[in-house]
Amino acid sequence: MSKVISHSLFTDFDIDLFKAGKHFKLYEKLGAHLIEVDGVKGVYFAVWAPTAKSVSVVGDFNYWVQGEHHLNVRWDSSGIWEGFIPEVSKGSLYKYKIQSHIDGVVTEKADPFALYCEKPPHTASVIWDLDYNWKDENWMHTREQFNALDKPYSVYEVHLGSWRRAEHNRFLSYLELADELVKYVKETGFTHVEFMPIMEYPYDPSWGYQLTGYFAPTSRFGKPQDFMVLVDRLHQEGIGVILDWVPSHFPEDGHGLGFFDGSHLYEHPDRRKGYHPDWKSLVFNYGRNEVRAFLISNAVFWLQHYHIDGLRVDAVASMLYLDYSRNEGEWEANIYGGRENLDSISFLKEFNEVIYSNFSGVQTIAEESTSFLMVSRPTSIGGLGFGMKWMMGWMHDTLKYFQKETVYRKYHQNDLTFSMTYAFTENFMLPFSHDEVVYGKKSLIYKMPVDEWQRFANLRLLYGYMFTHPGTKLLFMGAEFGQTNEWNFQNSLDWHLLEYDYHSGIKRLITDLNALYKSYPALYEKQFTGDGFEWINYSDHQNAILSYIRKGNNPNEKVIIVCNFTEVVRENYRIGIPENVKIQAIFNSDKTIYGGSGIEIPNQLKIDSISYDGRDFSAELTLPPLSITIYSYS
């Protein structure tokens, strides 16, 4: 095997950008790159290890012997070690053996910029490329009209390892998912899929939220190009792809980023800022320029090379506050005496600025559970710059309300109406995510009270309420057909439930709600602005009924929604109508095709010149039990 040849892909300008934390395509320089030097094919290696005394590449091409292939440290104090090794080829396994200046400390690390990794529990990096012939040109050229904030945005959240399993509980591959999952998402009408983390991770029970291979799709389901096929197929069917992205923490696994070169390189050296007590993981040092460049480069990488349409940023709240999950004495205030993590806030703003200035038709979404202000407002006016924020308060309040038996709901209507007092302070996404159906929280269907009929009627009502409430939508896999068991990452969803009418009825309802959402601009064009919503009556606590209007850009086209949160059928229930117009029924969750009781509502409402609810006109409705009925008028 040939020795290391001095070679560099870095220019002086690259190094200046890297040191300043402004190099956002580091994956083009750092890592392992198949190239040709003076007519000889091989691999150029580059790794950042500023406190290293020596760095060797070890792999199956040199029998994992340290010292066979020493990299050369750059002269410019960048801390980058590099070199070209001839004859190393695609598919070879490798790691970096790093001897620290600290006496006796030697680490053996996977490549932070590896494009492909060994299948866990093995931990080596794999020499690979990103060659692929994309076929999604139409989507990429037009996706802005599908991903914009005034478009329908209905997300199906998926854990690839447990959506569906093959024989003997085997994972489906990316290629199998490109057939089965794409067909299913198209059939049910979701506009986007969100994948729980697919970057390489060592420990299955982490669900992918403890990453070691930030630039590599997990090899559990196939090769990087196989994942590209999955994304490509979704795009060809007009379905956007969102990835969960985890810049908040990383595990202490020996081959990962922690204590990388014998020093606290990626993690903050102060344990009060560099360790997450809940997840027993390390926290990035957001004040270090090179670390910021690593993370933002990673975000850019997925959007550029995998054509991803959005990044849902995990655990943003844990990044914003120095005292997150810490007791008194376990954290240190910022320079102004506050609890905000100023380095992290600065990083998140820069991340969003880079993404939105370099990619059209993408969105960033914050999983942020606190009252931190202006998460989804532009950085130019002091916001964090995200496109959307999860509306966790709405989710908690809504589920709390629905878990109550109907006789008590008249005392708790505020749980539902409160969300409208702050609904337009952010660009909110309404999530029923994986977090709500694990660890004893029960599945959504079993959060609903009383008997089987009421449970399913409540679930249908819950989904109808969600799809007509302002904001975009997210539903975790299995919820669309009333999965009864809690989510278990080790097994497939309970697909056999679709053999039963109640469950197939829920799936039919979700399919129709997705179609309705996409068909009526009043339900999405102003989903983030107050002029897109109007109460008809929010104070009928006694009957546990809400009625409201959704509006879009066309002032003559509106949607009226009436929710009956009890099992009592309401005959001749009067609501105020703004105008004397033709009002047509477009949805009834109580239909028998959904598993409902089949109480019919008139196809067209009769408008009376009777003042009601502060309006000049009104109409009498029939409200089926535990139902949502929806009407349109123009």
Give me the helix-helix angle, 501-519 and 174-188, nearest 10°. 70
Active site residue 232: no
Residues 6 or more apart in contact with residue 154 via CB below 8 angstroms: 189, 190, 191, 192, 467, 472, 473, 474, 475, 514, 517, 518
Tell me which DSSP letter residue 148 carries. Answer: S
In the chain, the amino acid numbered 272 is: R
Tell me which DSSP letter residue 307 carries. Answer: -
How many whole angstroms separate alpha carbon 552 and alpha carbon 513? 17
Q: Could you tell me the two tokens for 337?
A: 């005496």
- Catalytic position from the list 118, 367, 512, 590: 367
- Residue-wise burial string across 559-589, b where 16 or more C-beta atoms lie within 10 A, e elsewhere: bbbbbbbbbebbeebebbbbeeeebebbbbb
The CA distances from residue 397 to 357, 372, 418, in Å, are 36, 18, 8
Nearest Cα residue to 166 out of 187, 181, 156, 188: 181
Strands 192-195 and 154-158: parallel
Between CA 146 and CA 262, with CA 300 as vertex, the angle to 5 degrees is 150
Residues 544 and 566 sit within 8 Å (Cβ to Cβ): yes
The 10 Å Cβ neighbour count of residue 224 is 23
Residues 476 and 445 sit within 8 Å (Cβ to Cβ): no
Strands 627-633 and 558-564: antiparallel
Give 272: exposed, middle or buried? Use CB within 10 Å, 0-12, 13-18, 19+: middle
3-class DSSP assignment, residue 178:
helix
How many whole angstroms separate alpha carbon 51 and alpha carbon 107? 12
How many whole angstroms separate alpha carbon 475 and alpha carbon 193? 10
- Catalytic position from the list 118, 244, 314, 512: 314
Residues 97 and 106 sit within 8 Å (Cβ to Cβ): yes
Active site residue 314: yes
Cα dihedral 607→611→615→616 (10° resolution): 70
In the chain, the amino acid numbered 139 is: W
How many whole angstroms separate alpha carbon 261 and alpha carbon 403? 51
Nearest Cα residue to 15 out of 53, 55, 46, 51: 46
What residues are labeled active site? 314, 367
